[in-house]
């Protein structure tokens, strides 16, 4: 499939990373560091959806109901948002995908879109954090961030279930391509950053 992946060609010079993990795993926090360290663009479907809600677009209205129930929004919606951002930004050194893909259909769509642009995913960095720690972090964030989906324990646990059922199986998808790097996601922010850097440079 990636027959243009020879050394020296664009496929090898782009660094597209899927930053993966359950809600509350620290993807947003670690993305900031990776962007600065490696000069990458950041594409977060959660952030893009919250911007649509803020702007009160029809898409935002539709997404809001699902998000506040802890459910996933439809694949076509998030794939469409990502497609626009990728083609807007052909010169980027690469992207960190944060919160995307979340389903097998999204992962396949992403591979097809990147392939068309002559590039691909280099690594999936999968943050691993225990469930009780996730709940604690998310409810803590909900107390200060104003994110409605972080305020209720029921919604938080629903998001973790959605992750386990629909999203976690993507580890197998990337593992089959030799791209999965599990990262221990407990400890200080700096410790986790160091593990991510080691996985990227290793
Ligand atoms: P978190 O990872 O903390 O749950 P996000 O900000 O990534 O938060 O996403 C918040 C919500 O937005 C999700 O619970 C889901 O409803 C929706 N969402 C974000 N990205 C996707 C996606 N790729 N596919 C489907 N739904 C998504």
Q: What number does the ligand 1 atom closest to the CA of 159 have?
A: 14
Query: Fold for domain 2-8+16-201?
Result: Rossmann fold (3.40.50)
Where do the H-state alpha helices sit in 146-188?
153-162, 170-175
Our measurement of the distance from residue 86's CA atom to the centroid of its chain's CA atoms, rounded to an integer in Å, reads 14
Q: Whose CA is nearest to atom 9 of ligand 1?
A: 46
The Cα–Cα gap between 168 and 124 comes to 12
pTM here? 0.91
Give the residue, out of 73, 101, 142, 152, with the most ligand 1 atoms within 8 A of its beta carbon, to mutate for a pocket test. Answer: 73
What is the Å distance from ligand 1's center to 1 Cα?
29
Domain boundaries, the chain: 2-8+16-201
* pLDDT per residue as tens, the chain (202 positions): 444 444 444 455 789 999 999 999 999 999 999 999 999 999 999 999 999 999 999 999 999 999 999 999 999 999 999 999 998 876 678 999 999 999 999 999 999 999 998 899 999 999 999 999 999 999 999 999 888 999 999 999 999 999 999 999 999 999 999 999 999 999 999 999 999 999 999 8
What is the Å distance from ligand 1's center to 187 Cα?
24
Q: Which candidate, 22, 17, 21, 48, places its Cα nearest to that of 33?
A: 17
Q: What is the pLDDT of residue 8?
A: 45
Q: How many C-beta atoms surround the C-beta of residue 2 within 10 A? A: 13
Q: Facing residues of 172 across strands?
A: none
Q: Whose CA is nearest to atom 16 of ligand 1?
A: 67
Q: Whose CA is nearest to atom 21 of ligand 1?
A: 45
Pocket of ligand 1 (CB under 6 A): 23-24, 45-46, 49, 66-67, 70-73, 78, 99-100, 102, 106, 149, 159
């Amino acid at each position: 499939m990636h027959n243009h992946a020879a050394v020296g060609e664009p496929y090898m010079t782009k660094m597209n990373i899927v930053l993966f993990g359950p809600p509350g795993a620290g993807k947003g926090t670690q993305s900031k560091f990776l962007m600065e360290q490696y000069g990458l663009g950041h594409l977060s479907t959660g952030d893009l959806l919250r911007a649509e809600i803020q702007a009160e677009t029809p898409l935002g209205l539709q997404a809001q109901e699902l998000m506040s129930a802890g459910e996933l929004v439809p694949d076509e919606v998030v794939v469409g948002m990502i497609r626009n951002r990728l083609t807007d930004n052909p010169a980027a050194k690469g992207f960190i995908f944060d919160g995307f893909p979340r389903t097998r259909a999204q992962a396949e769509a992403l591979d097809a879109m990147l392939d068309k642009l002559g590039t691909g995913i280099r690594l999936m960095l999968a943050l691993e954090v225990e469930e009780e720690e996730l709940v604690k972090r998310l409810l803590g964030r909900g107390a200060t961030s104003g994110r409605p989906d972080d305020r209720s324990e029921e919604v938080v646990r629903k998001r973790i279930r959605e992750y386990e059922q629909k999203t976690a199986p993507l580890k197998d998808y990337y593992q089959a391509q030799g791209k999965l790097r599990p990262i221990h996601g407990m400890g200080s922010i700096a410790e986790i950053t160091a593990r991510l850097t080691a996985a990227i440079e290793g």
